[in-house]
Amino acid sequence: MPLELNNANASNLLSFRQRRPSALPLSLSLLAVLLAGTSLAFQLFPHVLSSLKEPFSPDANHASPSVPAPSRDTRQAINSPFSSVLADISESLAPSVVNIEVRIRPQNVRAEEDLFRHFFGGQGFPFPPPQEQGGQGSGVIYNAEKGYIITNNHVVQGASDMQVRLNNGKVYTAKLVGNDPLTDLAVIQLKSSEGTLKAAKLGNSAQLRTGDWVLAMGSPLGFDHSVTLGIVSAMARRVPDLNEEVPFVQTDAAINPGNSGGALVNLYGEVIGINTAILRNGQNIGFAIPSNTVKQVADELIAHGQVKRAYVGVMLAELTPDIIEQLDLFPAVKGVVVGQIMPNSPASKAGLQLGDVIQSVQGVDVLTPKAFQDIVRKEGIGKTLRLDVLRDKKRLMVSLKSEAMNPQAYQTSP
């Protein structure tokens, strides 16, 4: 039976082929439609026809002189919108981020030279005098009209000579306007500049969020005007081993030596931080000073050459169970304990003593040394402060008047 079926099928197939009309007219119709469509496409897109006229070359490096290079609009269309934004930001900020090279003259070199001349009569030294040391970093143009540039204090500290190189290759000498060791910020000024400088726009760092895209711009390891991409890893990061004074912006954008003083930029092309430090025993953990802090400090440095801060001259510590036990206090006692008092300070003049527990300032409870410091700084210089103090299990009120902190004394004591 299968054989019969197969034969029947073959017979039917043969009969169908004999009855099927010729396919030639149908093929000609399809060919006509195809040619008409091709002609219409060439009329609508003439550049397609012109490209087909060019001979194919297997050499990828060969470019026909008759074919122009892709335009900027074409390149932008090929690239994703995100990469175009990054390229535009880098191009726009490049003139505002500078490279800084410094020469640092060793301390007391003049005294050593005079001493050698005294003993050797100017006949020459038995060994060459100490040589100047070089260093480099980055900076951000803050005021184009007056040539002010923001950078890190550790980049220019102790520099006897400073040179600033722009992205166009022009080099200028600069001088120090003011520095703030506490926040590691400094402002320098170009002694003269030819042409027009371009200042960067500082954004509002308070609007940053963890996860925001950022670019780090600077001159790492001497590679001028390099750009790296990352995100904001954390906000208001306190790093006691680095600087407890600054609430850093943490980023994973690659930062290397030479990036210090450079710009951390958001996707609006605004500088939202000054790159400052990296965690050496980690990877992709960098820190930048937030732009709101930068603007406040820079304005004061330009106006006064220093940042004036209120202080009372005490070193404080948190109340731990061990300290509470040593002071024979109740476990529920809250406050901060006085561990050191600076000579001739407001605290010394007011009669504060070691072991005093400060529980509140101006009626506000304090649980950490930083909280106490923030209140003192907020109240300002010359303000009379009321302290609630616990001494020998007795409560007493201490009044003191805050004074201006020595800006060169790098200490975070309030």
Number of other CB atoms surrounding residue 362 within 10 Å: 15
CA 399, CA 262: separation in Å to the nearest integer? 44
The reply to whether the predicted model has a pTM over 0.85 is no
Q: 274 near 152, Cβ under 8 Å? A: yes
The model's pLDDT over 321-360, given as tens digits with 9 standing for 90+, comes to: 889 888 888 888 899 999 999 988 999 999 999 999 999 9
* List 90, 96, 138, 154, catalytic entry: 154
**Mean pLDDT of all residues in 10-36:** 47
The model's pLDDT over 142-198, given as tens digits with 9 standing for 90+, comes to: 999 999 999 999 999 988 899 999 998 899 999 999 999 989 999 999 988 777 899
* Position 407 confidence tier, pLDDT thresholds 50, 70, 90: low
Per CATH, domain 310-404 is 3.30.1180.20: no
CA 255, CA 97: separation in Å to the nearest integer? 15
Range in 114-118, 142-146, 347-351, 377-381 with the lowest mean pLDDT: 114-118
CA 95, CA 142: separation in Å to the nearest integer? 12
Beta bridge partners of 287: 250, 277
| Integer CA distances (angstroms), 153 to 5, 157, 289, 301, in order | 97, 6, 12, 12
- 154 in active site: yes
The model's pLDDT over 219-247, given as tens digits with 9 standing for 90+, comes to: 888 788 899 999 999 999 988 777 777 88
Per-residue pLDDT, 25: 54
**Mean pLDDT of all residues in 104-132:** 53
- 64 in active site: no
DSSP state string for 363-413: TEE--SHHHHHHHHHHH-TT-EEEEEEEETTEEEEEEEE-EE--TTS----
**Mean pLDDT of all residues in 63-67:** 51
- 184 in active site: yes
Q: 364 near 385, Cβ under 8 Å? A: no
Q: Say which residues have a Cβ less than 8 Å from residue 217's Cβ, sequence separation at least 6.
A: 90, 93, 94, 97, 138, 225, 226, 227, 262, 263, 264, 265
105, pLDDT greater than 90: no
Q: 395 near 409, Cβ under 8 Å? A: no
Q: 316 near 358, Cβ under 8 Å? A: yes
CA 111, CA 115: separation in Å to the nearest integer? 6
CATH ID of 205-304, from 3.40.190.10, 3.40.50.720, 2.30.110.10, 2.40.10.10: 2.40.10.10
**Mean pLDDT of all residues in 24-40:** 55
290, pLDDT greater than 60: yes
* List 193, 226, 233, 260, catalytic entry: 260
CA 217, CA 224: separation in Å to the nearest integer? 9
As a CATH number, domain 95-190 is 2.40.10.10
Q: Tokens 């500290």 — which residue?
A: 157
* List 180, 184, 252, 388, catalytic entry: 184
Per-residue pLDDT, 239: 85
Q: Do domains 205-304 and 310-404 have the same CATH topology?
A: no
Higher pLDDT, 257 or 176: 176
Beta bridge partners of 400: 385
* Position 11 confidence tier, pLDDT thresholds 50, 70, 90: very low
61, pLDDT greater than 60: no
For the chain, domain boundaries: 95-190, 205-304, 310-404
Decide: helix, strand or coil at residue 361: strand
Phi/psi for 380 (5° steps) reads 95, 175
Beta bridge partners of 80: none
Decide: helix, strand or coil at residue 83: helix
Amino acid at 113: E
| Integer CA distances (angstroms), 234 to 90, 122, 239, 271, 290, in order | 23, 59, 12, 17, 12
108, pLDDT greater than 80: no
